């Protein structure tokens, strides 16, 4: 039986941890942190995502069931849901957002030569949103309707590799077309979107960005 690194640990080895450390230092991520350093926090969140955990309690139970392997996963001590909750609430979200952008750049380079099945040399993006329903009593800061709370996730997907190149989470009431104001148009690309984004002023701005300003 193989007794080396777990599959999860091998996946984590591919991440640019030196870059992560620089980002943590930039935002002073370890200020007054006694347990669950930022790197371990990220590993726990990555594990939860990869294993489809649905709650903090679910994460705690799953990791507790594998307590003998935590050290080999890069997690030095058992993770309590209260500790994880405090870390997720107090850590600067820009640490993980910036690291995610770094990983997206790394992944897009791997798929730059992938065929789209169409005779197109341009980058092709698909823009859409998804409304995520929440319990109004638990999330009163996200009112959506009289009896429901919600947030909306706006996503720009690079169809070469199906990689998210832009994401923005807003309240559920924000109309889809407003996402066009948040994007930085990329010259020479094709954007695919539905009729919810029909606004001629905003679409004209995208049209004006179709070519680089300086071709030299």
Task: Give the pLDDT confidence of 123-148 residue by residue, as tens digits.
Answer: 889 999 999 999 888 888 888 888 88
Claim to verify: residue 67 and residue 122 sit in the same structural domain: no
Residues counted in the chain: 216
Q: Is the confidence at residue 2, as pLDDT, over 80?
A: no
Query: Is residue 2, in this structure, part of any structural domain at all?
Result: no
Return d(Cα 210, Cα 24) in angstroms, integer. 36
pLDDT of residue 215: 45
Chain mean pLDDT for the chain = 87
Q: What are the start-end ranges of the E strands in 89-162?
A: 124-134, 143-145, 148-158
Hey, is 148 helix, strand or coil? strand
Average pLDDT over residues 70-97: 89
**Residue from 123, 189, 191 nearest 155 by CA:** 191
Query: Is residue 213, in this structure, part of any structural domain at all?
Result: no
Is the torsion defined by CA of 119, 123, 128, 134 positive or negative?
A: positive
Identify whether the C-beta of residue 171 lies closer than 8 Å to the C-beta of residue 142. Answer: yes
The helix or strand, by DSSP H or E, that contains position 166, with its residue range, turns out to be: strand 163-171
Q: Is the confidence at residue 158, as pLDDT, over 80?
A: yes
Position of tokens 């980002």?
23
The residue with greater pLDDT, 215 or 65, is 65
Return d(Cα 172, Cα 97) in angstroms, integer. 21
Query: Is residue 215, in this structure, part of any structural domain at all?
Result: no
User: What range defines the domain where residue 54 resides?
Assistant: 7-103
Residue at a domain's end among 80, 103, 126: 103
Residue 77 has, within 13 A of its CA and on its CB side, a CA count of: 8
Hey, is 165 helix, strand or coil? strand
pLDDT of residue 193: 93
pLDDT of residue 114: 75
Q: Where are the alpha helices (DSSP H) in the chain?
A: 7-12, 17-26, 38-50, 56-65, 81-90, 93-110, 179-182, 200-208
Q: Is the confidence at residue 23, as pLDDT, over 90?
A: yes
Return d(Cα 179, Cα 202) in angstroms, integer. 10
Average pLDDT over residues 18-38: 92
pLDDT of residue 34: 84
Query: Is residue 42, in this structure, part of any structural domain at all?
Result: yes
Query: Is residue 216, in this structure, part of any structural domain at all?
Result: no
Total domains in the fold of the chain:
2
Claim to verify: residue 32 and residue 76 sit in the same structural domain: yes
How many percent of the chain have pLDDT more than 90?
43
The pLDDT confidence band at residue 216, using thresholds 50, 70 and 90, is very low
The pLDDT confidence band at residue 212, using thresholds 50, 70 and 90, is low
Claim to verify: residue 71 and residue 154 sit in the same structural domain: no
Claim to verify: residue 123 and residue 99 sit in the same structural domain: no
């Amino acid at each position: 039986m193989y007794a080396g690194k777990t599959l999860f640990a091998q996946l984590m080895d591919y991440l640019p941890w030196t870059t992560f450390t620089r980002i943590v230092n930039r935002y002073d991520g370890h200020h007054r942190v006694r347990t669950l350093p930022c790197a371990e926090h990220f590993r726990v969140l990555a594990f939860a995502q990869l294993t489809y955990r649905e709650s903090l309690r679910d994460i705690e139970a799953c990791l507790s069931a594998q307590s003998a392997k935590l050290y080999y996963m890069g997690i030095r001590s058992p993770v309590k849901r209260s500790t994880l909750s405090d870390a997720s609430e107090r850590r600067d979200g820009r640490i993980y957002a910036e690291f995610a952008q770094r990983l997206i750049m790394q992944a897009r380079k791997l798929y730059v030569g992938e065929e789209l099945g169409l005779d197109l040399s341009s980058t092709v993006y698909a823009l859409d949103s998804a409304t995520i329903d929440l319990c109004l009593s638990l999330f009163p800061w996200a009112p959506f309707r009289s009896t429901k709370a919600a947030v909306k996730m706006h996503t720009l997907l690079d169809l070469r590799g199906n990689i998210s190149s832009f994401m923005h989470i807003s309240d559920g009431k924000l109309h889809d077309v407003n996402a066009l104001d948040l994007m930085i148009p990329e010259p020479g690309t094709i954007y695919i979107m539905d009729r919810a984004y029909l606004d001629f002023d905003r679409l004209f701005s995208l049209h004006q960005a179709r070519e680089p300003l300086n071709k030299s």
